[in-house]
Amino acid sequence: MTSTTALITQMARNNAWANGRIYATLADMDKTTFHAPRPGFFGSLKAMLNHIHQVDLFYIDALEQGGRGRAVYYEDEYEDVATLGHAQSVTDQRLIAFCTSLTPEMLSEHRTTQRKDLSTIERVDALLIHLFQHQIHHRGQAHVQIQDAGLAPPQLDEFHLAYDRHPDAARYDA
């Protein structure tokens, strides 16, 4: 039986792989197309992918007890695919490192998340599950935006099963 910490680490690796697939698809996208209006909660690929990155930074900071809190939202957004893709990759590696260091006891520890008007206390396992769900939710919207931009969106569900595992997924094995 696989441990909960191993499953969470696998989700962090899947997250990095899925983000890598998105950014590989967008690698040749010019700035005008990246900024162009698109359907979804955030009106462009630039806005959507910056949102994913900023929220990742917010929750990873809380998990690491880094103390930055909401300050991550006040930084300038990345303007081009390559720079944002690199920043996302660095952030994904931080999340993998955090998850790799988890012990079963750490999952029930608490972390503070700074909200607009108050701070809340959440369990580490709940923060991680929420973060993975947030990433999946908004990558689905980015998927639609990629198609709207005239590109073939990458397949993002070929990570966990041996049956149809994408060859690139092996890069994220422990």
pLDDT tens per residue across span 45-81? 999 999 999 999 999 999 999 999 999 999 899 999 9
Residues 6+ apart with CB under 8 A from 105: none
Asked whether the predicted pLDDT for residue 174 surpasses 90, the reply is no
Rounded distance between C-alpha atoms, residue 168 and residue 42, angstroms: 29
Answer whether 112's CB lies under 8 Å from 62's CB.
yes
Residues 6+ apart with CB under 8 A from 64: 94, 98
Q: Give the model's pLDDT for residue 60.
A: 98
Answer whether 59's CB lies under 8 Å from 66's CB.
no
Asked whether the predicted pLDDT for residue 1 surpasses 70, the reply is no
79-116 pLDDT, tens digit per residue, is 999 999 999 999 999 999 999 999 999 999 999 999 88
Percent with pLDDT over 70 in the chain: 99
Q: Give the model's pLDDT for residue 70.
A: 93
CB atoms within 10 A of CB 72: 18
Mean pLDDT of 15-21: 97
Phi and psi at 99, nearest 5°, equal -65, -35
Q: How many residues in the chain?
A: 174
The residue type of 136 is I
**Can you list the alpha helix ranges (DSSP code H) found in 72-174?**
81-100, 124-148
- Of 20, 8, 31, 3, the C-alpha closest to 100 is 8
The model carries a pTM of: 0.94
